[in-house]
Amino acid sequence: MKRSLLFSVVFLFLVACSNEEPAQPVIDEQANVDEQLVVDTSDAIEATEADVPDEALEVVEESAAEPAADEQAIVLAQADVPTAPREWQFKEGQHYIRLVPTQPILGDASKIEVAEFFYYLCPHCYNWEPAIKGWAENSPANVRFVQVPATWNQALVLHARMFYTKEILARNGVIADGAAFHDAVYEEMHRRNNRLASEGAIQRLFERFGVSVEDFSRTWKSFEVDQKLRIARDLARRYSISSTPTIVVNGKYRTGAAEAGSYPKLLEVIDELIARESVR
């Protein structure tokens, strides 16, 4: 036969568009603080479907030569059918605030960071503690939960220093159970009316957990504790923290019970914001 059918090949392209949030300048006079913070700069990806033309059929006269033995039918590439966008329950500007630009976080970007800003004397933080602790114990594997003490006045700075002293001593094995010490602070303040308003009162609490005077004094006055306090102040400024407890997800979303509507709803908002970050 001198007649054969040739099919034109159609190439399909899906275009990925990368969009960075508009930057809002942040002036930071503490360069040494920024070195310990990690900025999450992952871009959102949107897929655009290309138009696919109909197959073109063309009849061509050829010579009487035999067709090539390795001639095979051409199969056109098929575009993936895009999935429907997910509908979110909570709304930006109502249930949470988007931080623009995205701010640094305490840890690395390998996990989604959920930071709770709190202070020990806050009754709302005390009542919220069991709920957020239970949530953190059952949080997804890709989530890191951290607590950051507020430092608005000298009393809170004193307690923030206590928090970071406990954190370092627990990490070094001097305190066997840092979580138990954390709970004991809340109990002292809200059940026993012990406001732990001086360094001496705080030292006596550490002694109950087996910390010597030398270990306490060395850690309490250490450069590491001072540096952690500077970072806590810097993050509170960057995140515009004005009340407690306040939650910040991945340096990008800020929310609290007032925005969510209630503390049970706040846990739902946190879960949805984690889901948003997980599908980036």
Q: Tell me the C-alpha distance between 102 and 137, whole Å.
A: 26
Q: Which residue has the higher pLDDT, 263 or 45?
A: 263
Is the pLDDT reported for residue 6 higher than 90? Answer: no
CATH superfamily for 97-278 is Glutaredoxin (3.40.30.10)
The residue written with tokens 């500077």 in the block is 230
Specify the pLDDT at position 86.
Answer: 76
Other Cβ atoms less than 10 A from the Cβ of 211: the count is: 20
0.85 surpassed by pTM:
no
Read off the pLDDT of residues 167-188 as tens digits, 9 standing for 90 and up.
Answer: 999 999 999 999 999 999 999 9
Q: Give the Cα-Cα-Cα angle 181, 186, 190 (nearest 5 degrees).
A: 150
Specify the pLDDT at position 85.
Answer: 62
141-164: buried (b, 16+ CB within 10 Å) or exposed (e) per residue? Answer: eebbbebbbbbeeeebbbbbbbbb
Is the pLDDT reported for residue 56 higher than 60? Answer: no
Read off the pLDDT of residues 244-266 as tens digits, 9 standing for 90 and up.
Answer: 999 999 999 999 999 999 999 99
Tokens standing for residue 169: 């001593």
Q: Which residues contact 115 (CB under 8 A, 6 or more apart)?
A: 105, 106, 145, 146, 147, 148, 235, 247, 248, 249
Specify the pLDDT at position 37.
Answer: 55
Q: Rounded mean pLDDT of the chain?
A: 80
Q: Which residues contact 247 (CB under 8 A, 6 or more apart)?
A: 114, 115, 116, 117, 254, 255, 256, 266, 269, 270
**DSSP conformation class of 253:** E
In the predicted model, what is the mean pLDDT of residues 200-227? 98
Tokens standing for residue 210: 């087996």
Alpha helices in the chain (DSSP H): 31-34, 123-137, 154-171, 178-190, 199-208, 213-220, 223-239, 257-260, 263-278
